[in-house]
Structure 1
Amino acid sequence: MERYVQYLRKSRFDRDYAELNVEETLKRHEEILNKLAKDRGYHIAKTYYEVVSGESIAARPQVQAMLEEVNAGLYTGVLVVDLERLARGNGADQAYISQIFQFSGTKIITPSKTYDPNDEFDQEYFEFGLFMSRREYKTINRRLIRGRQSSASEGKYISSIAPYGYRRVKLEGEKGFTLEPDEKEAPVVKKVFDMYVHYVGTKNIANYLNDEKIPTRHGDLWTYSTITNIVTNPVYMGKIRRGWSQHVKTFQNGIVEKHIKRKKNIADYQLYEGRHPALISEKIFWDAQEIRINRQPSVKVRKEFTLENSFAGLIYCAKCGKRIGRTTTTRYRVPRFRCVNQRNCHNGSSNYDLVERQIIAALRVWLKGYRVKVSTIGFGEDIAACKKKIAGLDDELEKRNAQMERAYDMVEQGVYSLELFKTRQEKIGDSVARLQQQKNILLTSLAKYEQTDAVSSNLIPTTENLLESYDTMSPKERNALLKEILYKIEYDKGPDGKIVIDLFPKLPKI
């Protein structure tokens, strides 16, 4: 039986479903594809739902999983509402998708057209469709940017989430949104500015709000960074800012990654008069900016940064989940590990060297146990079993091909009637398809076993290298190797002074 797969993804440029949320749009699309499959007698083996936003394949895990199965030849065709659901990304993404469908011979089926990758004209039409989809994406994106710029210049609020202190409301009689003060949050904003212009620091303001049991919008604790975000936001003096947040693309390890870059200097972005009421006066806002600029940091910033924490980005608090930072005491300059949420978390601090020794000791114990586990469990037997089954299926496929050749001979000799030949051909063809499907599944499993075996084998020497050379390495070199071995480290120190270290190694998964 031929197997088909459905791929559903909502585009933010959907015109016909602009008023629907993601779930409702996907449901509409699924109804369309289910009807198409029913009318044509397709057996839908699987449905993929993409609910994340992203133009590139790297940002869409569901399409990655589907393409892996398509590449393995598991499906006769992929059903999509239109071509743009597969790719609106760059040329590399489009070429990658085109090659996968072409080499696997998988059809792309839409309500309006079926694209056969083995047909030269369909292949050209498919590639042209992807190109036009990308071009339309860029055109619409430019139009959206112009529209957002125009809305901002008219004083409308263009972001989807209102800043703390406000609610987002629809403008009456026209398109767009504005802001109105929130009865509970607005007084907190005014208090923050009042304290700040009276030279109370951001950390002390955060501590005050936490001590008063005043929660953030999402119930989290206040931090100095959330206070800084408030006192630097001109929306509170009735302005709309535009161009202060930018998406920056970088190309790393063959993947295009997006990062958000914020402009700290107000002079570097545009300000417009907003339609919303201000919570503070312009004088108070600019007084706050002057204090912020003139205030000297408590610690001099070094011109060159040298990593001193070998566990940076890896060690977290077992009690509250916050980061464990490396700090030094003012008097003795002794490095210690301390939870960054120390005011609200009761996890004790410890000497850096002591925790470091315990982590390395725990890593040695783990390595010893893992080396035994790999040698006894391993995937050598699974790899051998897969290869044996694949060889058996190859023999069966050769037999079916020989049967097909004999059927051709029989019909040419007049032994088989044309009707009997067609019946025989269909039966052998179904058998070949089932065998090929089983082989493709085994090939996928074999690749995973071999990859897992390689990862397991690499994990041991990497850990051994770290432990053998740890004392001679710089913190930066240690950190790089530790991040190859571990996802994270959890640290806990109770009232009795006992330190507990939990390691989370990057163990391979099947």
Structure 2
Amino acid sequence: MATATKINGQTEEKITALYCRLSVDDDNKDEESNSITNQKQILQDYARKEGYNNTMFFVDDGVSGTTFQRPNFMRMERTAENGEISTIIVKDLSRFGHEQVEMGRLTQVVYPSHGIRFIAIQERVDTLTGDGVEMMPFHNIFNEWYAAQTSKKIRAVWQSKAEHGERIASIVPYGYRKSEDNPKQWVIDEPAAQTVRKIFALCLAGKGPMQIARQLEEEQILSPAVYFESIGRKHAQKVPKNPYGWEQATVGYILENRQYTGCAVNFKSTTVSYKVHKRIQHSEEDYQIIPDMQEAIIPEEQWLRVQELRKHKRRPTKTGRTILFSGLLYCYDCKSKMHFVAAKSMKRKQEHFRCSQYKSGRGNCAMHYIRDIVLERLVLEAVSDLSDFVRCYEPVFLYLLAKKNNAMRQKEYQQLQKAMENGTKADSRNRQAD
């Protein structure tokens, strides 16, 4: 059954590709029969029996069949396009994929044009002899329908878990690990948690994600992907060449991850459909926050303080100075942010904040500005007056502060109550529609 071709003037035997795939969505009852080990054994036995010698495995473990963007499947396709493959063999059509249109294109157009024979053992499909070819579209349609039903079941399970106060996220963030006694429970991974605490402390000290990443690299702290590799933990991150090469985005993600406060965050994102795996991020209002799901690495107050700081990011100016009020000023008229204006040619007293909507007279607002030194003086006077008031009338100040805090809590309570009422009404309408 071997097929030969000439490569660089020499005759080479073409490859028989043995393709295996296992999805994380496969039912537990089928896990053993569809395991990679089982597929390999079946394919190897078939190839040996039918006389295929130059075999090569292409394996995608833990990848859905609804997408063809699988690492080893794409590697097999590139090998096929180079004319190095004569036959592709799979255990069954569902291992090859669950998307009937693309499967039909590959098996009926692409592979025949490359002279490639396609065999699915279980359905007895052989494109060379024509066996099972007429039934192949029906098998593919059923496999796609099965994938759609599985997707619906998984989403229903997620919804049910969330309604019962369970975490639906499967990825354990850096700083935590799964408990050996209960895989659903996260416990603190102390070496990584120390780095997480360090990142938050550096942010509170005024450093941005890039500065933090550089410091971690200088201190030779392993990046998350390399750390996971060192402890033998499975992960989907690409291992960088520099083991201490922290990315700015990684630091930013850690600083924004609310799960470090001990809570679970459900419904942060979803996919377009079971076919289109592009992630869609939900707004924060749609998140489900479940407190006290695991031991906190970062106190809630510290996490909130970091988020507030990151809303008002301060970048050094061209003069090298970081401005105290950068990101905190808004135009009184149009409510837009005011940008700091400075240059090496400017004197200190000339530096000022200007409405971002002015745009040299071409924007939507007038030339509203305030000099930096004037603002500093006004704020200093206000703080001084407030401190004098607190010293002289501390009981009155505490009363006014408590009154303000109580008013804020009442407002938050009313908003929460309104949201619950809207949710109850929506749930009632859904039941009536059903």
Give the structure-1-normalised TM-score. 0.47
Please show how residues 44-443 of structure 1 align to structure 2 within 5 Å.
Answer: 44-51=53-60, 53=63, 55-59=66-70, 60-65=73-78, 68=81, 75=86, 78-89=88-99, 91-100=101-110, 108-117=118-127, 122-152=132-162, 154=164, 156=166, 158-169=168-179, 172=182, 177-217=184-224, 218=226, 219-247=243-271, 260=279, 266-273=284-291, 275-295=293-313, 331=344
Equivalence for 2:353: none
Equivalent pairs, count: 287
Residue identity matched to 2:193? A
CA distance in 1 between counterparts of 2:2 and 2:193 reads 61
Secondary structure (helix, strand or coil) at the match of 2:186 reads: strand
CA distance in 2 between counterparts of 1:203 and 1:110 reads 51
Residue identity matched to 1:83? L
Secondary structure (helix, strand or coil) at the match of 2:179 reads: strand
Equivalence for 2:19: 8
Q: Which consecutive residues of structure 2, in runs of 5 or more, have no partner in the other structure?
A: 4-14, 227-242, 319-342, 346-434
Secondary structure (helix, strand or coil) at the match of 1:10 reads: strand
CA distance in 1 between counterparts of 2:181 and 2:119 reads 42
Q: Structure 2 vs 1, CA of residues 193 and 56 (structure 1 numbering), >3 Å: closer, same or farther?
A: closer
CA contact (8 A) 1:155 1:274 kept: no
Residue identity matched to 1:178? Q
Residue identity matched to 1:30? K
Q: Structure 2 vs 1, CA of residues 299 and 120 (structure 1 numbering), >3 Å: closer, same or farther?
A: farther
Shift of 1:46: 2.8
Residue identity matched to 1:5? T
CA contact (8 A) 1:50 1:63 kept: no
Q: Structure 2 vs 1, CA of residues 58 and 291 (structure 1 numbering), >3 Å: closer, same or farther?
A: closer
RMSD: 4.1
Equivalence for 2:240: none
Q: Structure 2 vs 1, CA of residues 179 and 99 (structure 1 numbering), >3 Å: closer, same or farther?
A: same
The ranges of structure 1 where at least 4 consecutive aligned residues each deviate by more than 6 angstroms after the TM superposition are 102-106, 118-121
CA contact (8 A) 1:82 1:110 kept: yes
Secondary structure (helix, strand or coil) at the match of 1:123 reads: coil
CA contact (8 A) 1:247 1:259 kept: yes
CA contact (8 A) 2:17 2:89 kept: yes
Instruction: Name which of 44, 52, 60 aligns with 1:43.
Output: 52
Q: Structure 2 vs 1, CA of residues 90 and 79 (structure 1 numbering), >3 Å: closer, same or farther?
A: closer
Q: Structure 2 vs 1, CA of residues 149 and 220 (structure 1 numbering), >3 Å: closer, same or farther?
A: farther
Secondary structure (helix, strand or coil) at the match of 1:185 reads: helix
Equivalence for 1:414: none
CA contact (8 A) 1:106 1:116 kept: no
Secondary structure (helix, strand or coil) at the match of 1:145 reads: helix
Q: Structure 2 vs 1, CA of residues 92 and 205 (structure 1 numbering), >3 Å: closer, same or farther?
A: closer
Q: Structure 2 vs 1, CA of residues 209 and 58 (structure 1 numbering), >3 Å: closer, same or farther?
A: closer
Q: Structure 2 vs 1, CA of residues 73 and 198 (structure 1 numbering), >3 Å: closer, same or farther?
A: closer
Shift of 1:136: 1.2
Quick one: higher RCO (CA 8 Å, sep 6+), 1 or 2?
1
CA distance in 2 between counterparts of 1:203 and 1:104 reads 49
CA distance in 1 between counterparts of 2:222 and 2:89 reads 47
Q: Structure 2 vs 1, CA of residues 103 and 203 (structure 1 numbering), >3 Å: closer, same or farther?
A: closer
Shift of 1:89: 2.6
Q: Structure 2 vs 1, CA of residues 48 and 191 (structure 1 numbering), >3 Å: closer, same or farther?
A: closer
CA contact (8 A) 2:47 2:53 kept: yes
Residue identity matched to 1:50? V
CA distance in 1 between counterparts of 2:288 and 2:92 reads 39
Residue identity matched to 2:184? F
CA deviation profile, 1:167-222 (whole Å, cap 9, x unmatched)? 122563xxx52211112222332333344345444344444444444333324234
CA contact (8 A) 2:261 2:298 kept: yes
Secondary structure (helix, strand or coil) at the match of 1:214 reads: coil
Equivalence for 2:36: 26
CA contact (8 A) 1:157 1:178 kept: no
Give the structure-2-normalised TM-score. 0.54
Residue identity matched to 1:122? G
CA contact (8 A) 1:116 1:122 kept: yes
CA contact (8 A) 1:9 1:85 kept: yes
CA distance in 1 between counterparts of 2:302 and 2:266 reads 21
Q: Structure 2 vs 1, CA of residues 63 and 207 (structure 1 numbering), >3 Å: closer, same or farther?
A: closer
Q: Which consecutive residues of structure 1, in runs of 5 or more, have no partner in the other structure?
A: 250-255, 301-329, 333-510
Shift of 1:293: 1.7
